[in-house]
Amino acid sequence: MDLSVFSDERLMEMVIEDRNSLAFEELMRRNLRSVYGFLINYLQEKAAAEDIAQETFFKVWKNSSQFKSEFKFKTWLFSIARNSALDYLKKKKAYSFSDLEQEDGKLAESIVDSNPSLEELFGRLETKEKVEQTMLSLAPPDREILLLHYTEELTFEEISKALKQPLNTVKSRHLRV
């Protein structure tokens, strides 16, 4: 049977109904490149993006029964990828209290954010390299909206569902950056 004629949603139904591994392989074939592309742009770490892409599809297989056919598969998939990436970033950026201590053993009174504002960053854009550097400097929530919208071509409504955020929040964050 030629599985390429079926929608992603129908392939997921086949996975759910009879744990159809061929249907799952077709889903991976179709979506692995875009999930990996999203993760590499989001994390800027090739090895981490590879691991999390693999973890994402493992979670899709393991939790396939939780997929709701009234939603787009791609929205659900990117939601899993995003959550896995956020988990990775949380583990990577875990701070201990000793990180907040000064050399004399006292706790730092404030932590200064030395990153330029988004307006300053976008004001300096002249070339593709500067755009890429700016994307790296954005906070992950802002970066993910841009990546999902411009790279993966998801609508704001699909992004809203994938990120589990109100549609107006997604739109206003998009406009802000």
Q: Are 100 and 107 in contact (CB under 8 A)?
A: yes
Phi/psi at 156 (nearest 5 deg)?
-65, -35
Which CATH entry fits the domain spanning 116-177: 3.60.21.10, 1.10.3720.10, 1.10.10.10, 3.10.129.10? 1.10.10.10
pLDDT (tens digit, 0 to 9) for every residue of the chain, 177 residues total?
Answer: 788 899 999 999 999 998 888 999 999 999 999 999 999 988 889 999 999 999 999 999 999 999 987 789 999 999 999 999 989 988 887 554 555 555 665 555 555 555 544 444 344 444 566 667 777 788 888 888 888 888 888 899 999 998 899 999 999 888 887
CA-based nearest residue to 74, from 150, 170, 148:
148
List the domain boundaries for the chain: 1-96, 116-177
Among 93, 58, 72, residue whose Cα is nearest residue 11: 72
Alpha carbon separation from 94 to 35, 40, 97, 103, 136 (Å, rounded) = 25, 21, 10, 20, 20
Question: Cα separation of 52 and 56, whole Å?
Answer: 6
CATH topology of domain 1-96: Rna Polymerase Sigma Factor; Chain: A (1.10.1740)
Whole-prediction pTM = 0.60
